[in-house]
Structure 1
Amino acid sequence: MSLLTHLLACLFGMGSWVSINGLWVELPLVVPHIPEGWYLPSYLSVLIQMANVGPLFVTLMHRFRPGALNEAAVIYAIIGLGTAASFLLAFFWKETVVVAGAPRSVALLILTFFLATVDCTSSVTFLPFMMRLKARYLTTYFIGEGLSGLLPALVALIQGVGVVHCINSTGSFNHTLNSSDSSVTFDLRAEYQPANFSAEVFFFFLSAMMLVCLVAFLLLNYHPSVARERPSYTNGGKEKSEKDRKWAEQKPMMDPYRPASQKRRSSFGTGLYSWTQVLYIFVILAWANALTNVVLPSVQSYSCLPYGSNTYHLSATMAAVANPLACFIAMFFPVRSLLLMGALTATGSGVGAYIMGMAALSPCPPLVHGTSGSVVIVLAWVLFILTLSYVKVIIGLILRDEGHGALVWCGAVVQLGSLLGAVTMFPVVSVYGLFSSGDPCNTKCQ
């Protein structure tokens, strides 16, 4: 295996969602300086779902005009757009324009839409591109995709985003938050600690990460060492013709452990899976992405803040670590069992139900006064992300074996699951306000 190719595949995967993930973790610094205030997350959710026009267009082109869309050109375009939009955010995120008699962050919202279009479209372009490399590099790509959430979170942690101090109303008492400290009383209020560096610097960092992704993609296309890792590479050291290479991208990648004479069970991919099994795989994929990308993240603060700000930040960080960890495990144990997939999905969904229950009971969930409550909720978040991330990687490997078109549909179903999750949770959280946030400084539970 080429370590260089593994590194490039990882860096390429990191560019898939780093921009939007970075914007989410930077919200505590952005919100106080814009007129939308804490309504901004709701606007972002709508913009991200509107950006699904990108993957919809790509999917329809693959379905009705196969081969007409130059996949590499689309990837170059969206990475370039993501780099430029992240760079421009550093200069214009504070700028406002009067619309309908009120100031609005028009530049921020437009640039966010561009970033969301880039990230959403990556689901139906980056994954199919990985068909050009051997199957083992797909897991490395998923590790990079997991790091696209972890790395911005770590940088934001260094930046000091969301670090809360509790002070009393007169300002004469300063106390660093500790959810297990019984001395915290009702006269305290939360105050965010100033950041170690500005939001502008953070947006420059996001732009640099997109530039790294672009360089990685260039090397994946043109570096000689990477060429040897392509399925179309021959022992004589020459690649097949352009026509043959394009055909190799479209043909199913056969599983070496699959009997060559096995009867086709459907017209999907290699025909290994029946249409019922294909539907089962895609339903699980949509369900897992709805839960991990939208449904549970939308209530993470409600499930964790009653136990303290430290618990919230620890759960967010450890959940971000669990994603690439699951991909790393899948690299060594790529078990393609549909039964195991269902069992892990049921386990992750059960843990997710516990997290949702804690969010619904906020601000007074069980064990709110003890350390055990913090430990349980953090472990729940880690197990939830770990199990469902492993499921998503295994589905990616299964569909990779079924061919280029299967990976296009994989990306489309990922976005569909996220869309359905957003449509479900947006009215529940943002319109009807069915969840109550815990106060990180004042516990009102008996």
Structure 2
Amino acid sequence: MAVVLHILSCLLGLGSWVAINGVWVELPLLVPHTPEGWELPSYLSLLIQFANIGPLAVTLIHKFCPGRLREGPVIFVILAVGIASCVLLAFLWQETSWVGSSRRSTALLSLIFFLSLVDCTSSVTFLPYMTRLRPDYLISYFIGEGLSGLMPALLALIQGVGVVNCEPMNRTESNESYATGNLTAVYQPARFPAWGFFLFLAGMMGLCLIAFTTLHKMSKELGLQDAGKGKRRMKKDPWSKGIMQKPMMGEDETKTKVVKKETRKYSTWEKVFIYLVLAWVNALTNAVLPSVQTYSCIPYGGRIYHLAATLAAIANPVACGIAMYLPSRRLLTVGSLTVIGSSIGSYIMGMAVLSPCPPLLRDHTGGVLIVGI
């Protein structure tokens, strides 16, 4: 039973951000076929920010209408929307239409917005649902959430998206063919098309829905859905085994000291610092840097951009795993990491500003640096 619950929790976390992470790593294959071109990542960043209306709506409903919104039905709805959006993307992502005086990828952008809405809303629905279970199942959920970035990234590496070679442009004059000094970008075909990748994302979302359906059914059988009776059932509930057990003699004083040490209260200024750091880091990682990634990477070549986008998705679960097993609540550590991250972000922004002729353009060191950071 415990192994099954861990697997189900992991699969639920897998579906939390797999769709948008997948779209990010597939961008090098989408960009050459869309009217937006290399502006597409900027549009994607904006759509993700607009999709935060979902978490805002859920938060407001919980605030002003407590008890009206249940996480279970909401999760079913958002997972169904995610599956439908991925399937439609597989067949409609190349469809365009005129908006004003320019042609736009209306189907692609609209469906990406719905996927963003699904993934953003999962942050405020999946976690509250998982808090009904034992804490160790929550760890399995976070492992799955990390895999939501790793799985699409590995598939994109296998697919070989965005691999481009610069070849001389051939021209014909007086029935003679010759190569000029001009180069043209020749994109190498992927091992399988974009529609196959989107169907893979739909399959991941479908697997998440099956896992949640099973988890929800098991929770009903064990009687965990009644929050008002949760405390009375903890002692006999196999999912909460050990939580309500009386500690052994001599443990009370030790545990009390540990709890006091771990739950020290922050001052007002410390809280302000923490919130400012959260706002700054989220702005960099979720909005500013992704939107300029094309400008900072493309001058070094399509292969560099492909590696940077794919490895960034892999780095996220690795960082989450490090934070999970080596947690630190020291504000000095938080501040130091923020300074280091801001310095790296400044380098990326500098390369984007200097694009298309950044430093080390003809040197392999430039590509290695932009991928590594």
CA distance 1:344–1:28, change in 2 (3 Å) = closer
Letter in 2 for 1:289: N
Higher mean displacement: 148-157 or 89-98: 89-98
Q: What is the 5 A alignment of 1:189-208?
A: 189-208=184-203
Identity value in percent? 57
Normalised to the residue count of structure 1, the TM-score between the two structures is 0.67
Using the TM superposition, give the Cα deviation of residue 34 of structure 1 relative to its aligned residue in structure 2, in angstroms: 4.6
Q: Please give the per-residue CA displacement for 1:224-268, whole angstroms capped at 9, x wherever unaligned.
A: 7x979999664534679xxxxxxxxxxxxxxx95659969xxxxx
**How many residue pairs align between the two structures?**
346
Q: What is the 5 A alignment of 1:61-76?
A: 61-76=61-76
Q: What is the 5 A alignment of 1:340-379?
A: 340-379=333-372
8 A Cα contact 2:31 2:40, kept in partner: yes
Using the TM superposition, give the Cα deviation of residue 127 of structure 1 relative to its aligned residue in structure 2, in angstroms: 2.5
In 1: Cα distance, 2:299 partner to 2:217 partner: 52
In 2: Cα distance, 1:97 partner to 1:356 partner: 33
Which of 211, 225, 239 in structure 1 is aligned with 2:206? Answer: 211
Using the TM superposition, give the Cα deviation of residue 118 of structure 1 relative to its aligned residue in structure 2, in angstroms: 0.7
Using the TM superposition, give the Cα deviation of residue 84 of structure 1 relative to its aligned residue in structure 2, in angstroms: 1.2
CA distance 1:282–1:13, change in 2 (3 Å) = farther
In 2: Cα distance, 1:106 partner to 1:374 partner: 33
CA distance 1:275–1:14, change in 2 (3 Å) = farther
1:155 aligns with 2:148: no
1:93 aligns with 2:86: no
In 1: Cα distance, 2:188 partner to 2:328 partner: 45
Letter in 2 for 1:123: S
Q: What is the 5 A alignment of 1:121-160?
A: 121-160=121-160
Q: Please give the per-residue CA displacement for 1:169-222, whole angstroms capped at 9, x wherever unaligned.
A: 1189xxxxxxxxxxxx95222111112222221111111011111122233334
1:317 aligns with 2:313: no
Normalised to the residue count of structure 2, the TM-score between the two structures is 0.79
Q: Please give the per-residue CA displacement for 1:93-127, whole angstroms capped at 9, x wherever unaligned.
A: 33345565876544333322221211121122122
Q: What is the 5 A alignment of 1:39-438?
A: 39-97=39-97, 104-170=104-170, 187-223=182-218, 234-237=234-237, 259=257, 272-380=265-373
Name the SS for the 1:365 alignment partner: coil
8 A Cα contact 2:168 2:182, kept in partner: yes
Which protein shows a greater Rg?
2
Using the TM superposition, give the Cα deviation of residue 296 of structure 1 relative to its aligned residue in structure 2, in angstroms: 1.4
Q: Please give the per-residue CA displacement for 1:392-429, whole angstroms capped at 9, x wherever unaligned.
A: xxxxxxxxxxxxxxxxxxxxxxxxxxxxxxxxxxxxxx
Q: CA RMSD in A?
A: 3.5
Name the SS for the 1:166 alignment partner: strand
1:29 aligns with 2:13: no
* Unmatched runs of 5 consecutive residues or more in structure 1: 173-184, 241-255, 264-269, 381-446
CA distance 1:317–1:171, change in 2 (3 Å) = farther
Letter in 2 for 1:205: F
8 A Cα contact 1:144 1:324, kept in partner: no
8 A Cα contact 2:25 2:309, kept in partner: no
Using the TM superposition, give the Cα deviation of residue 281 of structure 1 relative to its aligned residue in structure 2, in angstroms: 2.7
